[in-house]
Amino acid sequence: MRRGRRGTRRGGGSASRRASRAIDTPSLAVWPGLSGGQYRPLTDADIARIYDAALDILENIGIGEPIPEILNYALAGGCTLDDDGRLRFPRALVEDLIDVSAKRYTLFAPDAEHDLEVGGERVLFCTSGEAVTILDYATQKFRPTQLTDLYDAARLADQLEHIHNYGQPFIAAQYSQDVFVHDINIAYAALAGTKKSFALGIAEVNHIEPIIAMFDTWLGEEGAFLKRPFCTFGG
């Protein structure tokens, strides 16, 4: 008959293993600024061809119907406006601007804990879209997106650790006939919903100043937003 071993135990038993697990800090699979660049579907030669083609298009084809705000800066900087109304960008000008452009910058957030460093091979994840309909889970039917959907999406992004920046995913359809009211409300919904940096699609450039004034009011100081601009404006 086999006798069991008595009076001896393996070192590092279950109790010590549980204690070790309790003090271990879990590692995240994705974190803000995770180094990327390993996946390269294009060769360096492919990228060079795309780059050269882009410069060629800007120089020889240009863009049509440029708005006055663009012309004020572009023409003074060396661009040309042809008889056909197309704004063209000299290759040397574009390359000079690329050389002096920021290679790294801080994407501020309403809460400094969520500030992000952008640049190099740092990878960040954000939401985006500006969809006009959403699937209603309760009815299983699509309906127009509402302001509350934007607020809920901001709150969700705020709590998801692998979403680092909130980009406006929907429009507020109930305000689609008044774009100023729409833009003010989506800015408020984002600010109310998340402490992370966020980006908005603004319909008209003259809506930005009133939105900045609202952000200043929230911050409690005129000019405070421009010191730490936590919202990126697009259109």
In this structure, are 95 and 210 located in the same domain? no
Q: Is 55 exposed, middle or buried, given 0-12, 13-18 or 19+ CB atoms closer than 10 A?
A: middle
112 with 206, same domain: the answer is yes
Same domain membership, residue 195 and residue 110: yes
Q: Are residues 95 and 111 in the same domain?
A: no
Instruction: Please give the tally of structural domains in the chain.
Output: 2
Residue 188 covered by a domain: yes
CA distances from 175 to 20, 65, 68, 172, 180 (A): 55, 28, 27, 6, 9
- Residue 80's identity, in one-letter code, is T
How many Cα atoms are found within 13 Å in the side-chain-facing hemisphere of 37? 8
> What is the reported pLDDT for 35?
81
Note whether 131 and 213 are same-domain residues.
yes
Residues 91 and 131 in one domain: no
Domain that holds residue 165: 104-234
**Is 127 in the same domain as 90?**
no
Examine residue 52 and state whether it is found in any structural domain, yes or no. Answer: yes
**Residue 22 included in any domain:** no
Residues 135 and 153 in one domain: yes
Same domain, 121 and 68: no
Same domain, 83 and 60: yes
pLDDT at 2: 47
- 54 assigned to some structural domain: yes
Residue 2 lies in a domain: no
Residue 69: the pLDDT is 85
Q: Is 4 inside any structural domain? A: no
pLDDT in tens, the chain (235 residues): 444 444 444 555 555 555 554 445 456 777 777 788 888 999 999 999 999 999 999 999 999 999 998 999 999 999 999 999 999 999 999 999 999 999 999 999 999 999 999 998 888 999 998 999 999 999 999 999 999 999 999 999 999 999 999 999 999 999 999 999 999 999 999 999 999 999 999 999 899 999 999 999 999 999 999 999 999 999 6
- Both 117 and 152 in a single domain? yes
Answer whether residue 12 is part of any domain: no
Query: Do 164 and 65 belong together in one domain?
Result: no
pLDDT of res. 4: 47
Query: At which of 83, 100, 117 does a domain end?
Result: 100
| pTM confidence score | 0.78
Q: Is residue 21 part of a domain?
A: no
The reported pLDDT for the residue numbered 59 is 98
Burial of 3 (0-12, 13-18, 19+ CB in 10 A): exposed
